[in-house]
Amino acid sequence: MKLALAQFEIEGGKPSANRQRARTLVREAAEKGCDLVALPEIFNVGYFAFDSYSREAEPLDGETITELQEVADDLDISICAGSIVEDLAESTARGFDTPDEEGYANTSVYIDSSGDRRGVYRKRHLFGYESAEQDLLTAGESVTTVDDQGFTVGMTTCYDLRFPQLYRRLVDAGATLVLVPSAWPYPRVEHWQLLPRTRAVENLCYVGAVNGIGAFEEASLLGRSAVYDPWGTPVASAGERERLVVADIDPERVEQRREEFPVLDDRLDE
């Protein structure tokens, strides 16, 4: 599989412009022969644009996801639609299962190359430190994986990286690749470079951590998206500028590493 991470500038409260940037990079990924492209956290509204959440929230079949389904089908590429602010009441009214019948969630959607919604993940760990996320959003409850193109893809979001138990549960569910759409800000550069690499090492799986760039009143996103292999080696990465990060990844490499170094077999009850 050829995996792409779409790192781009996200403007707070400008969903139309942000969606256009996302579509442009998805098309570029398809032109490069990529099979899967991942977008950053709340890429359409901007994570730190808290005042825009209620105004720009959408159901699962709203404009953002519907557009990306059409693009995925047209370009024959799978898309991890980073995340959007989901309007739970609207999603419930349209027949989707939700953790609550009202409020909002930080929701990622996995779209396959036929344009079908294959997985929905609502962020489980909501950030509280200097963030309004815990006050504005409802936490998800599911552990979500999707089988696609030889991989079992685990879905997580940003702050989830600080909770290794979730990644163990994903491995128990068969995950060989974990995607981490994020809106990781300065000054925590070292944390961003350490945590996804650690999750790859301890679970012997690929980790694709995709971040945005751009400045908000509260914070600036630090970019530095990267793909780590099952040994924790960065195989593709970006700096602070807009870039499509592309890496060739192989599910057999996960199997080989787990056979060569069977640390997961030595786990005690947790």
List beta partners, residue 209.
180, 226
163 CB neighbour count, 10 Å cutoff? 13
What residue segments make up the domains of the chain, in order of their start? Answer: 2-266
Catalytically active residues, by annotation: 41, 123, 158
- 91 Cβ contact list (under 8 Å, min separation 6): 59, 60, 98
Give the pTM.
Answer: 0.97
- 45 Cβ contact list (under 8 Å, min separation 6): 12, 13, 15, 18, 52, 53, 56, 84, 85
Chunked into runs of 10 residues, the chain (270 residues) has average pLDDT values of: 98 94 98 98 96 96 98 98 97 93 95 98 92 94 97 98 98 98 97 98 98 92 98 98 98 97 87
pLDDT at res. 269: 67
pLDDT at res. 119: 98
At the topology level, CATH places domain 2-266 in Nitrilase/N-carbamoyl-D-aminoacid amidohydrolase (3.60.110)
